[in-house]
């Protein structure tokens, strides 16, 4: 496939070109990924080469078809949620929120499910992969707050309450080598159906209306900036492809390789926080 724009990649830790890029494109479409939340203590899925750091997260079809997979997921989630819910926005989230208030960001879509952009005061956010703070019934479509489901999980499984294990990226924890067959998974309070966190699992499609909303925002934007994502998941990568097809320039701030490196006009290979702080100061 041929793209209308194919700039030579410029990879640097200097932010001068990025400041110029943002100054030249007032209606910026920003896509953020796990790299923005790692400083808040939420683990990243992939290493600098885009490879899995840990075992691949839960698969949608497994979750829907296998009660044992759901027992394992909710058991791990019971343990992981306690720390996930205590994570706070970091300086990257606050810098982006301030850039929005300064009129420098028109749209922000995130692959993160932690809600930290909104908690940092960011107003226009599309949660591409949903929010872990919500739970959905797969039978009747009822939605519940994760906090209330957490109470049910703990009440039914008090012996899990004080376990601790390393955090995992889906808001669960690495409780391995444990038999989960005694774990009591609550059903939907309205119909008894299967409950699923309101996030897009691997192997599951992003809801069509959410993708359309994000594409419409991209169409209205002047350029795209990717922050802290290796773009290995197609749900994020497709926005870079669409931007380039529309003749828009794409810049990225990311430590390590991205799937879209050859489509980028500009790349800053550095951690998000110092770059965004400098960018914010330079654009003031």
Looking only at residues 183 through 202 of this chain, which bind Zn ion when binding is defined by CB under 5 A? 188, 190-191, 193
Q: Is 28 helix (H, G, I), strand (E, B) or coil?
A: strand
- Number of residues interacting with Zn ion: please give it, by CB under 5 A: 8
**CB 10 within 8 Å of CB 265:** yes
Catalytic residue (one of 93, 117, 122, 129): 129
By C-beta, is 154 or 194 nearer to Zn ion?
Answer: 194
By C-beta, is 188 or 199 nearer to Zn ion?
Answer: 188
Query: Shortest gap between Cβ of 172 and Zn ion (angstroms)?
Result: 22
List 136, 137, 218, 231, residue binding Zn ion (CB under 5 A):
137
4-26 CB burial, b ≥16 within 10 A, e <16: eeeeeeeeeeebeebeebbeebe
Residue 140 found at the interface with Zn ion (CB under 5 A): yes
Q: Which among 92, 46, 28, 12 has a CA at the least distance from the CA of 258? A: 46
Query: How far is 64 from 82, CA to CA, in rounded Å?
Result: 24
Of 81-89, 96-104, 132-140, 166-174, which segment contacts Zn ion by CB under 5 A?
132-140
Query: Shortest gap between Cβ of 191 and Zn ion (angstroms)?
Result: 3
List 10, 54, 69, 142, residue binding Zn ion (CB under 5 A):
142
Residue 281 found at the interface with Zn ion (CB under 5 A): no
Query: How far is 81 from 134, CA to CA, in rounded Å?
Result: 12
Of 52-60, 70-78, 131-139, 177-185, which segment contacts Zn ion by CB under 5 A?
131-139
Query: Shortest gap between Cβ of 138 and Zn ion (angstroms)?
Result: 8
Query: How far is 154 from 38, CA to CA, in rounded Å?
Result: 27
Query: How far is 135 from 149, CA to CA, in rounded Å?
Result: 8
Residue 138 found at the interface with Zn ion (CB under 5 A): no
**CB 117 within 8 Å of CB 40:** no
**CB 128 within 8 Å of CB 80:** no
Query: Shortest gap between Cβ of 149 and Zn ion (angstroms)?
Result: 12
Per-residue tokens: 232? 């290995």
129 part of the active site:
yes
Query: Shortest gap between Cβ of 62 and Zn ion (angstroms)?
Result: 21
Task: Just list the catalytic residues.
Answer: 129
Binding residues for Zn ion, per CB under 5 A? 137, 139-140, 142, 188, 190-191, 193
């Amino acid at each position: 496939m041929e793209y209308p724009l194919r700039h030579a990649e410029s990879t640097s830790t200097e932010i001068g070109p990025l400041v110029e890029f943002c100054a030249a494109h007032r209606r910026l479409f920003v896509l953020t990924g796990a790299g923005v939340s790692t400083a808040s203590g939420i683990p990243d899925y992939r290493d600098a080469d885009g490879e899995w750091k840990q075992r691949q997260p839960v698969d949608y079809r497994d979750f829907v078809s296998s009660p044992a997979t759901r027992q394992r997921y909710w058991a791990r989630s019971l343990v992981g949620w306690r720390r996930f819910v205590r994570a706070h926005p970091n300086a990257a989230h606050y810098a982006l929120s301030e850039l929005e208030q300064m009129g420098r960001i028109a749209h922000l879509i995130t692959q993160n499910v932690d809600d930290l952009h909104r908690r940092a005061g960011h107003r226009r956010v599309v949660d591409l992969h949903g929010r872990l703070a919500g739970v959905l019934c797969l039978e009747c479509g009822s939605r519940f707050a994760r906090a209330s489901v957490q109470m049910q999980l703990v009440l039914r499984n008090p012996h899990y309450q004080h376990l601790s294990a390393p955090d995992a990226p889906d808001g669960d924890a690495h409780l391995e080598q444990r038999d989960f067959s005694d774990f009591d998974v609550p059903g939907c309070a309205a119909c008894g159906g299967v409950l699923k966190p309101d996030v897009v699992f691997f192997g599951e499609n992003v809801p069509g209306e959410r993708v359309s909303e994000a594409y419409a925002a991209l169409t209205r934007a002047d350029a795209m900036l990717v922050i802290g994502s290796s773009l290995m998941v197609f749900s994020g990568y497709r926005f870079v492809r669409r931007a380039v097809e529309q003749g828009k320039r794409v810049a990225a701030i990311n430590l390590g390789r991205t799937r879209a490196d050859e489509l980028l006009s500009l790349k800053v290979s550095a951690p998000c926080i110092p770059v965004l702080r400098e960018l914010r100061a330079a654009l003031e």
